[in-house]
Amino acid sequence: MQQPITSYHRDEDDHWVAELACGHFQHVRHDPPWQNRPWVITAEGRKSMLGQTLDCIKCDDGAPPDNIEEVNS
């Protein structure tokens, strides 16, 4: 299911994670040749992708929303 990006945070390994409107999180790495996402490298690039959609497999699976409190602890 396509879900818009609403914000970002970094995980414990300092990788960027998109927060989606559905409440799920998804890593957004720039790791060629597997994932070509150069926009994630800069603040301007990440900002430009707010509102763009990503395919949320967690929604497809009916998973509950991720917990941002776990990220901030």
The domain spans of the chain are: 2-64
Q: What is the DSSP letter of 35?
A: B
More confident residue, 35 or 64: 64
Six-digit token pair at 6?
């609403």
> What is the pTM (predicted TM-score) of this model?
0.88
CA atoms 67, 71, 72, 73: torsion sign: positive
pLDDT digits (tens, 9 = 90+) for 34-58: 889 999 999 999 999 999 999 999 9
Percent of the chain past pLDDT 70, that is, above it, reads: 95
